[in-house]
Amino acid sequence: MSTTSREVDVLIISDLRFPGGTSHSIATEIEAQHAAGYTTGLLQLNGPLVRKARGVNPAIAALVRDGKARLLVGPRPVAARLVVVRHPGVLQAAAAQLPPVTAEHVVMLANAGPRDTDGTVVYDVAAADRAARERLGREPLWAPIGPLVREEIRAEVPADRLMEQDWVNVIDVDSWARPRTAWAADRPVVGRHSRPSAQKWPRDAETLTAVYPVDGSWTVRVLGGADPVERVLGRVPRAWEVLPFGAMTPQDFLAGLDFFVYYHDPRWVEAFGRTILEALASGVPAVLPPHFRALFGDAAIYAEPGEVRGVVERLRADRAAYEEHARRAGEVARERFSYQTHVRRVEALAGPPAAAPDAEGPAPATPAPAAGTPLVHTRADDDAPRVLLMSSNGAGMGHLTRLFSYARRLDGDARTYLLSMSQAVPVAARLGHPFEYLPSAKALGMPPGRWRGMFVDRVSETIRRVRPDVVVFDGTWPYQGVDEIREKNPDARWVWSRRGMWRAGLNTEQIGKAAWFDRVLEPGDLAAEYDAGATVGEPAHRVGPVTLLDGADLESREEARAALGLPQDGPLALVSLGAGNINDTSGDLGAAAAALAALGVGVCVTVPEIAASGGPGGDVHLVRDYPLSRRYRAFDLVISASGYNSFHELLRLGVPALFVPNTATSLDDQEGRARYAADHGWAHTLPALSVGGAQPLLADLLANGAAMAARAQAADPGNGAPEAARLLLDLATGETR
């Protein structure tokens, strides 16, 4: 190999921004190479197939951060024993972006055919081959990803350079395999996951309804959205459970299925079918169109669309036959598609891993966490206690944020999982928590009585899979069915995380549901003295007010403004009114903007309010971030509703505040909370915003807000999240009964 400053065993050239299977396949090959001792370099080409501005796929970026691969940027030469080009069209279009590359072997991985379903040319075999010879200095070996692509390129690739074995996708079978000891529910549960592309679904209603029934006889679950279904049927069947892309991990989704059923537009050539491989590795029998037999052999079950119902019903009635199919699926996945499969083909071309690290030195370490508790979750050992954190849908982020607060303090001591009816739950991924979305009755447009059965089945299935020691429900209205779930799954301890400050006289009938739980955990409220609701005096383990962050977690003013794209100079105010989209706050927003502008203060508005009102107009900065509280020092004051999280974050973190209670909340006594803060000189409050009413209070906050905020901080008993986490951990380990 030529002497160079950048040498690796394997160099992968691709557009690393692909959102789906291509990037996930790259990530798994990096993992396999790293585990076998190979060094991996990555070269990014901005190809024509990714039309939106986006960064490197998060799965690949995480591997770079972990030191398992190096992203090679800049014009300096690169040398590799093996170069793998993933997607010929990328190299064909963007080869000029490459630095000088020296290679001993080059593989052109054809992970799709040269033409799309409508005949559109995706790449030209001869042009891509020529680009490889000219820029990489070798005649490439062409490796089709599967038998269908092999047939498409066979006539165009020189026979002596068409690899005998397909370059199939691989998977870490051990991390996907799940035991299947019982049916997921009392009727067949079938499902699929994929991107919501029309080509990945049957194109006619007859086929679609034959393989995915709409009559409610089966539970049909979809991960990744079902927009193409709506275009074919005119609606998404109400009996289906449809989750958006990213709502839960594919591993957890597949663990909740009895059968993986995957049918697509027959005009489309599915080059490989990575989601099918994931299903096989997880041990769920896959029912597929017959053309997949050439790729997956006896690992799957093959049927024409009209035969699918019979296949599923027959295996549902014969558990032994079902388990044999599941066993064989996992066995074939391990034999033909494991990491070792990939290592063997790399070794055949590149030889064993180099003995010494590359010349650029060791891979960069993961950055050290900032002061305070790490914000991104670190997964605990497999034998650590397990805590399932469950929330209702709510109107904003309150329930989820409280659960994140507990999870953060359990970090390293317990394995935490999120199950939520909030459509905001994918934010859990930013914090490193595994999660899944359970649609509420309202989200599904389903009568509560019918939804209850789905709720019981889904939560029970999650509990069987996760095997939690403790289940925490955060909400003010425990759902009917919790008692039934407990009877079916008696091993876990249950905790009701129930904040106070309910409106007087409301929700009193819910107090008796405390009997469903082993403990009631009450996050404290700085305004508890004004609490006149039904929880007052009820038995509970009370802790201090709970917030996700503490003062040590905040960024400096300069860092926060830079991160949010805000000007460094001049006073700025944040306007954050209402819980999510519960109100139309356009009147308040306009008044706030006018009052602040009159005082020479720049206006920043959180995006949910803009979405609800259509925008306040004028010169405002839109702010979208979570958790936004880490950047509160960017603002000189905040105009906010007085929901539990906002109220306690602003006062605890020392931010001058004008509270405008959200009176449209069903239960939360925001007026009482805001009044208490004003009565104690911690903040100002107004029942509604007007320019004349707000302007003098905002002027006072600019002059005296820091002193007011300091009084609130002096009265703060401290964050109750660590004590709450200790209680949950003690319950999980049996220290507390």
Same domain, 206 and 224: yes
State whether 125 and 238 are in the same domain: no
Q: What is the mean pLDDT of residues 285-309?
A: 92
Give me the pLDDT at residue 439, please.
Answer: 80
320 three-class SS: helix
| Among the listed residues 628, 605, 627, the one whose alpha carbon sits nearest the alpha carbon of residue 616 | 605
| Tokens matching residue 309 | 């119902």
What residues pair up with 83 in beta bridges, in sequence order? 11, 106
Helix (H) or strand (E) holding 153: helix 147-153
Same-domain pairing of 18 and 121: yes
Number of neighbouring beta carbons within 10 Å of residue 320: 7
Whether 572 is covered by a domain: the verdict is yes
Q: Same domain, yes or no, for 420 and 522?
A: yes
**Domain annotation covers residue 735:** no
Radius of gyration in angstroms for the set of CA atoms belonging to the chain, rounded to a whole number: 28
In a shared domain, residues 179 and 224:
yes
- 449 and 561 part of one domain: no
Integer Cα distance of 264 and 483 in angstroms: 41
pLDDT beyond 80 at 201: yes
Same domain, 262 and 401: no
Query: CB of 248 within 8 A of CB of 254?
Result: no
**Are 71 and 179 within one domain?**
no
Residue 599 lies in a domain: yes
Residues 440 and 513 in one domain: yes
Residues 392 and 532 occupy one common structural domain: yes
The answer to the question of residue 181 being in a domain is yes
Is 448 a residue whose pLDDT tops 90? no
> CA torsion angle for 615, 617, 621, 625 (degrees, to 10)?
0
How many CB atoms are closer than 10 A to CB 5? 11
pLDDT tens digits, 490-499: 999 999 999 9
What does the pLDDT read at residue 488?
87
Q: pLDDT band at 54, cuts 50/70/90?
A: low
pLDDT, tens only, 450-482: 888 889 988 998 898 889 999 999 999 999 999
Residues 495, 470 contacting (CB under 8 angstroms):
yes
CATH number of domain containing 156: 3.40.50
438 SS3 class: coil
Is residue 348 a part of any domain in this protein? no
Tokens of 109: 């991985």
Lowest mean pLDDT among 95-99, 351-355, 506-510: 351-355
Of 136, 161, 186, which marks where a domain is finished? 161
Instruction: Answer whether 0.85 is exceeded by the pTM.
Output: no
Domain count, the chain: 4
Question: Same domain for 537 and 555?
Answer: no
Tell me if 420 is assigned to some domain: yes
What are the tens digits of pLDDT across the range 308-344? 999 999 999 999 999 999 999 989 988 889 999 999 9
Domain enclosing residue 302, as ranges:
173-318
Residues in the chain: 737
Q: What pLDDT, on a 0 to 100 scale, did the predictor assign at position 451?
A: 86
Give the residue from 111, 127, 161 where a domain finishes: 161
Q: Is residue 354 part of a domain?
A: no
Does residue 338 lie in a domain region? Answer: no
The answer to whether residues 485 and 583 belong to one domain is: no
Strand 78-86, strand 7-14: pairing: parallel
Residue finishing a domain among 273, 300, 318: 318
CATH of the domain at 274: 3.40.50.2000
Matching residue, tokens 């920043």: 604
